[in-house]
Each structure stands twice: as C-alpha cells, then as structure tokens.
Structure 1
C-alpha cells in the first residue's frame, strides 16, 4: 500500500478506538505500518514526533537510569531491563554497552521516532519508539512503571521535531533475501572458512563469495554447519534453563541487535509461543515460525565460536544463541555439551 491509498489519520484513529487488537496486529490488518498508527495519534503530548538519530537519542537515555529495552523481529521479542551506557557512534554501526543492555546499532534504519504515553492499569507508561523507513519497529525504550517523568519530558522536548504531522511517509518493506546457493564456491568457501581466524570476518567472507548467511550454511557442510531438527531450539532452551548454563541470545532486525547475556529460567509454552519470563528479561519466540535450525562453528581467537541459529520460512534470521564467556567464568564447555546433545541426533548433515 502506498501513501496515496493509506487510510487517513482520522480513519486510523477510529480503527484504533474500535479495535481490541495490539497495534502491531491492527496495523497488519489495515495494510499500514505500526508507525503509521502512531503518527495518526500525534498530538504533541501523548504521542510526539522526535528525532530518531541515535547520536541524539541514546546519550540522552543514558541519563534516565533504569529502563527496559525492547527489540523484535517478526518471530521473536527480547525485553531486557538495565541502563544505557557506553554509547559508541559509528558511521555504519554503533553500540551500547550499558548495565545489562547490550546493543548493536545500524543507524541508517533509525528513521522515524516518537515518544508515547500509554495509559495502563498501573498508570501512564512512557516510552521512546524508533521505526525504519517502512514504519516497522527497530527499537523501543520504556521507563519503569511509576517512573518520574521529568527526565523523559526534557529529552522529549529536546528531540521534538518541527514536523508534527499525523501523516507519515514510508517506503515499501524490503523483501527478505532468499538463500543464495553457489555450489561452485563450496571448496573455496570451506578453505576460507577454516582460515577465518576471527568470526567477525564472516561478513567479509560472504561478500567475497557472493552468498548470504543461510546460503553459506547450506553449502559449507560439516563440521562448520550442521542442520538440526526444528525441535532442537525448544530442547536447547529447556536445557539452558535446567542446567543454569549462561548463554548469549542475539535478537535483531535490520536496525538493531539486542544481546541478552546470562542464565534463563524455565520455558513457558503458550500456544505457539515459547516464553522466558524472568526478572529483568522476557523473551517471546514464535516456535511455529522456525523452519531451519543450524549448529554453526566459526574460528575465533579463543577457540571455535559455536552458535545455534534459526530461520523462518522466508530465510530470515530469527535469533542466534551462543555460549557465554565472561570475566566471571568460561561457560563454553557446558554450552558445547548442550550443542553436542543436539548434533548427536542430526536431522540432516551435509557431507564434506
């Protein structure tokens, strides 16, 4: 749907008033974006358009103290409580290394920004919300319930845009890139993979061979990539909880990757959702969206970096899980044992 055929702001406000759906679901039903729904409600008070530039927003958020950071994609939501800090800007990518909040920021996707006052049973809930050019959520920051509003109000006013129009210009959502399979580069890919030396060189390796992540996994074969059963994801999450093994869970979209580090509690299944509902960390995963699962091994300075990565039917990466190495201890041996439990019952292994 282009901007000329979108419902008017008045129509969107009426749809919001009439609906009991969550805004994200209502937006999908109307053929608009979540940001379009927010823009329709702009009033300079409850909903205000602000600069989405992370260089302006994130240093200001550092001054607010404890908050909740939310990052999602179509299949998973990660909510982490902590404080923003250590923001390092970058022309392409920046990062946040705060107390509990660990983010990778891809600034060109931080396009539309809003502050929102949501009325809840516990009182007003204050947030900053950032969306990409298509109007899809990139990152949201919520103040705790009952938080004093002074700092939030000051930052809102500092970031307020002159344009407070209820209409939003959006671009079509980019299609998910299908797996790129180039069997002719298999041997060269395997050789370069073995000589990577650092897992952070993996993007350069993909560019060199003109493939993408899922395409690389499908052709490189064992021991670098092993395809697992879909049920492996639930089993590994359960085993992380049972054993208390700390992990790193990467959840992201084109504009932001959010990393939770630590142990998780028992997995609570609700319909298609696999949920972690821990103090300071909530995660909600649509298990029925998972269509491919891979155990991936990449060289690193501290030994192999081993991850479990899962994808949806379009080939989009849903999330990655790694073992945790920290100053307090190396939990990788326990993580490797959990991965080995799954690779021992491989659904499919691409031969070398």
Structure 2
C-alpha cells in the first residue's frame, strides 16, 4: 500500500475530478483512507453500527441509498423504513429501500459534507475493516437537515483523527466444491423448501455457491453465456418483467424490486437509469453466468447469477414474487430463453 499523508490525500482529492473509488485504486490506498484524510475538513467520524446508524438515517426522510461491489453499483431513492436490528444480520424492508446488513463489516463510519456547484452535498459513508465501501447514503434536496444535525451530534465519535489504519483485504474465495459429496448436495437440494436453506447446505458440505453450481448440473443449474447478462437486462425491459435485483458486498445487500424502464449502455457499462433506481454494471467483468433453480414451498425460485473472473458474486436476479405483482411463468420463460454457454461457443 502506498504511503500518503492525510494532507497529501486531501490535495490529491482536490485536484481529481473523478470518482473516489477510481482515485483510491490509482493511488493504491483504500477508499476509506481518502475520506478519513478529510476528517476535520468537512468529514466527521461517526458510529457505523447499523443499530445506531440506520434509525438516525430513517429520520432524514428521502435519501439515495448506494451499495456497490467491484463490478456493480445499485442506487435507490426512498426512505429507510421498517428497520429490524440483529447482532449478525439486520434489515430494512421497504418497497424502495430494501436491504440486508451484516453489522460486523460496518467498521468505519463518516458523515461527509462537500462543496459542489449545486451547494453542499451531504452523505453517510460506511466502510469495512479493509477500507472498502459497504454502504453510502446521499441526502437529497428534501432530506431533513435538522435530522442530519442530530445524527452528526449524537453519533460523533470521540476519535476525530484524520489518520486511519486498515486491515489487509481478504482475497476472494475461489470456487470450492466437494465432488465426492455431489449425491448429498443433489439430494438435499431437491428437498429444500426455502432458498435460504441453500447457504446452510453448502456450508455444511464445505462448498461455496460457485463451487456447488459448477458440479450440480441439470435440473438445478445451467451455465449461460456472458452475453446472457445484457440479454437479461434487455428482455426484462422489453417484456416489462418484474424482477428482484440483488447487488451487494460482504456487509450489505441492496435489492430493487420492480422493472427496468431506461437502459443506457455506455462503453463497458450496462446502465439502468430510472427515476428512482439506477444500476451500473461492468459487463466486461462478467466471467460466469448461471441459471439456477431452487425448490421452495411456493414453487421454484429461479435466478440468474453473475460472477467475475475471481469467483466473486456480482449480482443475482430473481423473478418478482406473484404477491408483489410478478409473473412466475413469464420469468421462467425469459430465463429459459437466455443464451447458454454452449450456444455462444458455436
């Protein structure tokens, strides 16, 4: 990691007009180091624990919620409602801002104020122990500034140093399979009654998601061509198909439930630019795509899941549940029509 003083990081940020994520990568520092360097210069260290932070964020009213991984960014406008806290997992359950949070990764929290041509931009930014972004909340014109003032007063930490230390970033776990346990995997996969049982199953068998997909085969998984990803976005848009799009990282998963109205590909980026929902996906990062089926009490849960070259999950897309206005048969037909890996090779 390149060694830069906080003053130098502040200067470099002032000179750079790009995204902090890109500048951090160029400098060889965690993104959180750029934010921490500005403590005392428009940035305040705050309590990052979701049980403390999210109720204060809810009081802000309408905001924009942003979650990203290396290959995909999801942005949703709404209010943080119906918060459920938990030691290992927490959630907000709302039509617009629907999130799953894993508190142990919410390590570094900052309240940020930055000058812009449109005035002061305010945000909450949370990072993990390695300094990678977990979740960000951007205030909007209608956000409650008195609630912002209360948040910065009540959640400010005693430590307001502009120096920060970070742990090494954990490497992406490569695909992990146990072919000798394939019969058990398939037998218990067929017996599932809820999609959440899958994670428990593969952990017990000492596999991970991608490793299990690679050995499971029909009828539960089908390898798709990487071209299936832009095709998926286009067909969801064209067919006005309701979906649930899951984008996240180790500390937060954000979910869009609804449709795609405006597709705007730009270079390697595949973008959905809707009034209250944006998705920015690096199509060139997609290395593997799988159509996956898991049995549940309510019928099969069918998903399209994309991974990068290291095996990191980029996104999962499910059909919107019928009780939310989705059409299970439409979604199943859409996924069945996506190009398979073998088709692309021919």
Identify if the C-alpha distance between structure 1 residues 148 and 82 changes in structure 2 by more than 3 Å, giving closer, same or farther: closer
Question: Quick check: 1:19 aligned with 2:16?
Answer: yes
Could you tell me which residue of structure 2 aligns to residue 101 of structure 1?
97
- Take 2:175 and 2:167, find their aligned partners in 1: how far apart are those partners? 24
Q: Is the 8 A contact 2:269 2:280 kept in 1?
A: yes
Could you tell me which residue of structure 2 aligns to residue 278 of structure 1?
274
Question: RMSD across aligned C-alpha pairs, in angstroms?
Answer: 1.4
Aligned-pair CA distance for 1:21:
2.9
Could you tell me which residue of structure 2 aligns to residue 39 of structure 1?
36
Identify if the C-alpha distance between structure 1 residues 148 and 87 changes in structure 2 by more than 3 Å, giving closer, same or farther: closer
Identify if the C-alpha distance between structure 1 residues 330 and 285 changes in structure 2 by more than 3 Å, giving closer, same or farther: closer
- Take 1:212 and 1:127, find their aligned partners in 2: how far apart are those partners? 35
Matches for 1:203-214 after TM superposition, within 5 Å: 203-214=199-210
Aligned-pair CA distance for 1:149:
2.0
Unaligned residue ranges in structure 1 (runs of 5+): none
Aligned-pair CA distance for 1:145:
3.3
1:337 to 333, 337, 340: 333
Q: Give the secondary structure class of the aligned counterpart of 1:267.
A: coil
Q: Is the 8 A contact 2:288 2:308 kept in 1?
A: yes
Could you tell me which residue of structure 2 aligns to residue 288 of structure 1?
284
Q: Give the secondary structure class of the aligned counterpart of 2:293.
A: strand
Matches for 1:217-296 after TM superposition, within 5 Å: 217-296=213-292
Aligned-pair CA distance for 1:27:
0.8
Runs of 4+ in 1 over 6 A off after TM superposition: none
- Count of matched residue pairs: 343
Q: Is the 8 A contact 1:47 1:114 kept in 2?
A: yes
Question: Quick check: 1:160 aligned with 2:160?
Answer: no
Query: What do the CA deviations read for 1:174-215 (whole angstroms, capped 9, x no partner)?
Result: 100000132211122111111122211001111121100000
Aligned-pair CA distance for 1:147:
4.1
Unaligned residue ranges in structure 2 (runs of 5+): none
Q: Is the 8 A contact 2:242 2:326 kept in 1?
A: no
Q: Is the 8 A contact 1:85 1:99 kept in 2?
A: no
**TM-score, length-normalised on structure 1?**
0.94
Q: Give the secondary structure class of the aligned counterpart of 1:260.
A: strand
Query: What do the CA deviations read for 1:79-109 (whole angstroms, capped 9, x no partner)?
Result: 0011101111111111111341000000000
- Take 1:99 and 1:200, find their aligned partners in 2: how far apart are those partners? 21
Matches for 1:86-235 after TM superposition, within 5 Å: 86-145=82-141, 147-235=143-231
Q: Is the 8 A contact 1:70 1:141 kept in 2?
A: yes
Aligned-pair CA distance for 1:148:
4.8
Aligned-pair CA distance for 1:328:
4.6
2:25 to 24, 28, 31: 28
Matches for 1:312-327 after TM superposition, within 5 Å: 312-327=308-323
Could you tell me which residue of structure 1 aligns to residue 47 of structure 2?
51
**TM-score, length-normalised on structure 2?**
0.96
1:347 to 319, 322, 341: 341
- Take 1:11 and 1:20, find their aligned partners in 2: how far apart are those partners? 16
- Take 2:19 and 2:63, find their aligned partners in 1: how far apart are those partners? 22
- Take 1:22 and 1:228, find their aligned partners in 2: how far apart are those partners? 32
- Take 1:192 and 1:64, find their aligned partners in 2: how far apart are those partners? 45
Q: Give the secondary structure class of the aligned counterpart of 1:327.
A: helix
Q: Is the 8 A contact 1:34 1:135 kept in 2?
A: yes
Q: Give the secondary structure class of the aligned counterpart of 1:199.
A: coil
1:6 to 3, 6, 12: 3
Query: What do the CA deviations read for 1:19-49 (whole angstroms, capped 9, x no partner)?
Result: 2332111111111111100111111x61111
- Take 2:46 and 2:216, find their aligned partners in 1: how far apart are those partners? 45
